[in-house]
Structure 1
Amino acid sequence: MFSDTEDIANAVNLPLSETECGNQAGSDKSESAMSNSGNFAVRVQNISKCYQIYDAPRDRLKQFVFPRLQRLLGKTPKHYFREFWALKDVSFEIKKGQTVGIIGRNGSGKSTLLQIICGTLSPTNGLIETNGRIAALLELGSGFNPEFTGRENVYMNAAVLGLTKEEIEARYSDIQVFADIGDFIDQPVKSYSSGMVVRLAFAVAINVAPDILVVDEALSVGDELFQRKCFSRIEAIKKSGATILFVSHAGATVVELCDQAILVDKGEILISGAPKTIVAKYQKLLYAPESKHDQIRSEIRTPSIPTSLPSSPISSHHGGKSADAGLAEPFNSEEFFDPHLKSQSTISYEPRGAIIRSAKILNLAGDPLNCLKRGNVYCFKYEVYFTQGIPNVRFGMLIKTVSGVELGGGASAVTPEESLPYAEADSAYQVEFHFRCSLNPGTYYLNAGVMGVHTSEETYLHRLLDIVVFRVLPDTGNLATGIVDFGCHSGFEQLYNPILKK
């Protein structure tokens, strides 16, 4: 079974020409209309992609023969196919050095867009312009010849990616070490396991020193050690100033790696901007019931799609000031409640039989707080009201940074079988999560969620993102570094004295 509508289109249909598909998705722009500015890495202008969908194989033959006869007879040609627009009038620009994530539901057109950018697909309408060498991690290993050895495929693939023989030879040892497939490098690829093929293909693409790296869900390949090696190399490529464009369903990965994100749905760009915001809107759309999708799409969509992704840093505000602004000012070392510290970025999933309300942080005495002291224990409390009877209910919480990196949280049960067996309609539950504040000074956000079995599958009944914002107060004696205080203790002793040694 195909998991993506565009995969179906690629597998069973042929791309249409502009005259066959009409002008539904927008007209081409002349190449002269493009700016000559060299500060961009990828520029996509009014890109559309249309496929023919045939209900039966004989309709393909009819389409090949009958329209020509109908034209000869002076009749209006009839189409024996339906049009499927994988992309509709998509435009954006990515600057050099940016890391941009493309997210969206299955069938939204993400993979089609990447293939057009890489040149493996031609658009029906529009223009694409790239500035620099592209290395693509799309269908890993699809270009390998199974009869050739791994070494021969390395040379062939690297040549396709634009490297000279001298450049390939200079990088070969790095490719071999990264792939880590041992003596199999000199065996035919047809003898490889699927994991070995993926490792070798990734090693080739990642070692060509690309100006633009394009990745389509390839970060989930291999075992955990290899995945970490892949992430590390991509981070190094990012630091070198290369542009990275990738598709992922993992919101945390997009938030962690990307400077910007683009939300694509039904072949259109709904919104682009800061990864934390875009991922939250994507998750709201993803977990919404089908009947609410059009409404949520309208809420998400901006009046006009920007042609350039903004590069301003993410900031969180309360009372007109940055959420971190107060950290540099004189502070009260005791925990307290700041009425001006309120989340301005809360996003609510569409309720499905439950509603979360009254979320807050309390100390052990029951006092509400949002300015916490490192090392103390606190309680995150909220209520859940059930509008209908729901089986197998679980509650959860999650702490995130200002940029949206998920730090950790908790759940009321590991599996649905260990959860609350049934929540009656018109019932309410008070949920509490106690946690020790092991975070270093800074500003953080809390999510609240409730899951249960709805229409025969477990899903979010309601979820509130960034429902509570809190600050961890500065500590002048704090020697911990980074985000989380692991309680590290240092110690050292002198092994020898160079003066006495003389």
Structure 2
Amino acid sequence: MESSTTGKSSRKSIITRDLGKRYQIYASPTDRLKQALWRGRRNYCREFWALRNVSLEIEKGETVAIIGRNGSGKSTLLQMICGTLSPTEGKVETSGTIAALLELGSGFNPEFTGIENIYLNASLLGLHQEQIKARLEDIQSFADIGDFVYQPVKTYSSGMLVRLAFAVIAHVEPSVLIVDEALSVGDAVFSQRCMRFIRRFTEGGTLLFVSHDLNAVSSLCEKAIWIESGRVRMNTQTAPILTAYTRYCLEASNSEIQSMASAEAIQKNVDALVDNSESRVSLQEATAVNTVTNEDSIARIISTANELNALPEQNYWDNKRDYGNQHAYITRVELVGMDGQRTNTPNCGEIVQLQISAQSIRCVESFIAGFVVRDRTGQVIFGENSTGQDRVQVAMNHKASTNFEFVMPFLQPGSYSLSVAISNGDAKQFQVMHYKPDIMILEPMVGNRPVQGVFATTTMTIKSDVHAK
């Protein structure tokens, strides 16, 4: 690995060029031994590329999220940037001190006490003994693990390991901070403490942040990198990547649910054919019956949609932004104020109604509608859905609508986006039929009401009394 701080890369914290990591996968330990004995003259393994052709440039002071599903290659990339893993091909150039919070306990000697590991890790990150001694009390206070700091690290829980590791990182003043999902094991108080430090750090340092919490990603990071199957799929501003990634995950979830439903249908066909036939019926015959049934259903759906002349792709579906299984689609979204007029400038503190109308293409067993309001960074401010209401069934080629009536909360002045969705299922398991992101831009009228935090409550009793001594 190379490091450079001159010339073209003087403003870059991290540069990777055609970076790749290959592993050899063996079917058995015997194959591994054979590979070693033959010294490459024969091949007893298969190659697996955990990462391939990754080229990135991250400017100093940027906050960048790395997102992707488990096993996509995120941790492999971070380990090569940190220098704890050697690339198979390509190169990495870094500038400044890198502090990383990767796997739990990484960099710790389990036999050492917490104090001894503080000295070990801080010295590896560039601090001298005198500097560590001067900051030791602050590190202990930040970690807040009490007398356990004098016990061997092997006796620590996962939460205590994260506390100690992050406390060291927070006091070594790195140029680049890398956090890889480790904060998910901490309690709420410590997580908030870490997030406050990270926000202060982003004012001047470079942050690489890996998390499955997309709200945290949206709040912290101005750019994002989406890695899928070891390759960079998108590398741009955070908002469009989160929209595309959410769409990808929901479509994958829909596909998984449909596969499960298809498997259940096949099994039912098997059971029915076995019950109604004197001879044994093969699984292939049952599968063929199910395939014919599905093809007939699809044909009926297309025929019905053509008769309506209301195919979602033509009238209501934006292929570049919308996603879902298209079993139903949103036809109208209206926000209405107290005067009964449509508006995108609702008065905070007043009752508003949000109506979501939809058209079914297929039978919907349990119709759900919902919405979220996000700020300009993509952070979810508030939202609601109809999962808590009575079950609503919608027949094929029918219309449905859901009306949300609520008091508009007092928000910070600015622009907000409204996204809406309809699904089929319940709160625990559902399939998204149509999701329309950022369908409306809201400019709430706050008035003179001061807002502390994200938004102010609309109903609260406040009473002040003066008491004599």
Q: TM-score range by the shorter chain?
A: 0.7 to 0.9
For the Cα contact (< 8 Å) 2:357–2:399, is it kept in 1?
yes
Q: TM-score, normalised by structure 1?
A: 0.72
In structure 2, the CA distance between the partners of 1:483 and 1:32, relative to structure 1 (3 Å rule), is: closer
What is the alpha-carbon distance in structure 1 between the residues aligned to residue 320 and residue 224 of structure 2? 18
- Within the candidate set 251, 256, 261, 2:224 is matched to 261
Aligned to 2:156: 192
Aligned-partner SS, 1:351:
coil
For the Cα contact (< 8 Å) 1:347–1:466, is it kept in 2?
no
1:248 aligns with 2:211: yes
Question: Which amino acid in structure 1 is aligned with residue 11 of structure 2?
Answer: N
Question: What does 1:136-147 align with in structure 2 at a 5 Å threshold?
Answer: 136-147=100-111
For the Cα contact (< 8 Å) 2:347–2:445, is it kept in 1?
yes
In structure 2, the CA distance between the partners of 1:291 and 1:283, relative to structure 1 (3 Å rule), is: closer
Question: What does 1:343-362 align with in structure 2 at a 5 Å threshold?
Answer: 347-351=321-325, 353-362=327-336
1:405 aligns with 2:373: no
Unaligned runs of 5+ in 2: 257-317
In structure 2, the CA distance between the partners of 1:174 and 1:82, relative to structure 1 (3 Å rule), is: same
CA drift of 1:160 comes to: 2.2
For the Cα contact (< 8 Å) 2:254–2:325, is it kept in 1?
no
Aligned to 1:432: 403
In structure 2, the CA distance between the partners of 1:66 and 1:352, relative to structure 1 (3 Å rule), is: farther
Aligned-partner SS, 1:94:
strand
In structure 2, the CA distance between the partners of 1:61 and 1:34, relative to structure 1 (3 Å rule), is: farther
What is the alpha-carbon distance in structure 1 between the residues aligned to residue 433 and residue 172 of structure 2? 46
Percentage of identical aligned residues: 40
1:56 aligns with 2:56: no
Aligned to 1:74: none
For the Cα contact (< 8 Å) 2:356–2:369, is it kept in 1?
no
CA drift of 1:161 comes to: 2.2
What is the alpha-carbon distance in structure 2 between the residues aligned to residue 181 and residue 218 of structure 1? 17
Aligned to 1:319: none
CA drift of 1:266 comes to: 1.6
Higher helix share: 2
CA drift of 1:250 comes to: 1.3
Question: Which amino acid in structure 2 is aligned with residue 214 of structure 1?
Answer: I
What is the alpha-carbon distance in structure 1 between the residues aligned to residue 255 and residue 345 of structure 2? 37
In structure 2, the CA distance between the partners of 1:134 and 1:463, relative to structure 1 (3 Å rule), is: same
CA drift of 1:224 comes to: 0.7
Aligned-partner SS, 2:435:
strand
Question: Which amino acid in structure 2 is aligned with residue 261 of structure 1?
Answer: A
In structure 2, the CA distance between the partners of 1:229 and 1:459, relative to structure 1 (3 Å rule), is: farther
CA drift of 1:84 comes to: 1.6
Matched residue count: 402
1:451 aligns with 2:423: yes
CA drift of 1:384 comes to: 3.0
Question: Which amino acid in structure 2 is aligned with residue 435 of structure 1?
Answer: F
CA drift of 1:423 comes to: 4.3
1:133 aligns with 2:97: yes
CA drift of 1:196 comes to: 1.6
Question: What does 1:37-116 align with in structure 2 at a 5 Å threshold?
Answer: 37-66=9-38, 68=40, 77-116=41-80
For the Cα contact (< 8 Å) 1:442–1:473, is it kept in 2?
no
User: How far does the alpha carbon of each residue in 1:62-120 deviate from its partner, in whole angstroms, 9 at most, with x for none?
Assistant: 3223355xxxxxxxx44322222211211111111111101112222111111110111
What is the alpha-carbon distance in structure 2 between the residues aligned to residue 161 and residue 352 of structure 1? 53
Aligned to 2:354: 380
Aligned-partner SS, 1:442:
coil
Aligned to 1:341: none
What is the alpha-carbon distance in structure 2 between the residues aligned to residue 202 and residue 480 of structure 1? 33
Aligned to 1:71: none
In structure 2, the CA distance between the partners of 1:440 and 1:202, relative to structure 1 (3 Å rule), is: closer
In structure 2, the CA distance between the partners of 1:292 and 1:34, relative to structure 1 (3 Å rule), is: farther
In structure 2, the CA distance between the partners of 1:84 and 1:434, relative to structure 1 (3 Å rule), is: same
What is the alpha-carbon distance in structure 1 between the residues aligned to residue 5 and residue 172 of structure 2? 32
Question: What does 1:83-232 align with in structure 2 at a 5 Å threshold?
Answer: 83-232=47-196
Q: TM-score, normalised by structure 2?
A: 0.77
In structure 2, the CA distance between the partners of 1:397 and 1:168, relative to structure 1 (3 Å rule), is: same
Aligned to 1:498: none
1:274 aligns with 2:237: yes
Question: Which amino acid in structure 1 is aligned with residue 34 of structure 2?
Answer: K
1:468 aligns with 2:432: no
What is the alpha-carbon distance in structure 1 between the residues aligned to residue 320 and residue 345 of structure 2? 19
Aligned-partner SS, 1:52:
strand
What is the alpha-carbon distance in structure 2 between the residues aligned to residue 436 and residue 62 of structure 1? 71
In structure 2, the CA distance between the partners of 1:290 and 1:167, relative to structure 1 (3 Å rule), is: same
What is the alpha-carbon distance in structure 2 between the residues aligned to residue 458 and residue 60 of structure 1? 45
Aligned-partner SS, 1:79:
coil
Aligned-partner SS, 1:288:
helix
CA drift of 1:491 comes to: 11
CA drift of 1:373 comes to: 2.4
In structure 2, the CA distance between the partners of 1:350 and 1:392, relative to structure 1 (3 Å rule), is: closer
What is the alpha-carbon distance in structure 1 between the residues aligned to residue 319 and residue 172 of structure 2? 40
What is the alpha-carbon distance in structure 2 between the residues aligned to residue 412 and residue 35 of structure 1? 57
For the Cα contact (< 8 Å) 2:325–2:431, is it kept in 1?
no
For the Cα contact (< 8 Å) 1:372–1:472, is it kept in 2?
yes
For the Cα contact (< 8 Å) 1:140–1:202, is it kept in 2?
no
In structure 2, the CA distance between the partners of 1:457 and 1:59, relative to structure 1 (3 Å rule), is: farther
For the Cα contact (< 8 Å) 1:31–1:127, is it kept in 2?
no
What is the alpha-carbon distance in structure 1 between the residues aligned to residue 420 and residue 436 of structure 2? 5
Aligned to 1:367: 341
Unaligned runs of 5+ in 1: 1-27, 69-76, 294-343, 494-502
CA drift of 1:49 comes to: 1.3
Aligned to 1:311: none
Question: Which amino acid in structure 2 is aligned with residue 350 of structure 1?
Answer: G
What is the alpha-carbon distance in structure 2 between the residues aligned to residue 355 and residue 366 of structure 1? 25
In structure 2, the CA distance between the partners of 1:53 and 1:393, relative to structure 1 (3 Å rule), is: farther
What is the alpha-carbon distance in structure 1 between the residues aligned to residue 370 and residue 404 of structure 2? 8
RMSD of the alignment, in Å?
3.2
In structure 2, the CA distance between the partners of 1:264 and 1:63, relative to structure 1 (3 Å rule), is: same
CA drift of 1:47 comes to: 0.7
In structure 2, the CA distance between the partners of 1:215 and 1:33, relative to structure 1 (3 Å rule), is: closer
Question: Which amino acid in structure 2 is aligned with residue 202 of structure 1?
Answer: F
What is the alpha-carbon distance in structure 2 between the residues aligned to residue 227 and residue 180 of structure 1? 13
What is the alpha-carbon distance in structure 1 between the residues aligned to residue 393 and residue 28 of structure 2? 47
CA drift of 1:260 comes to: 1.0
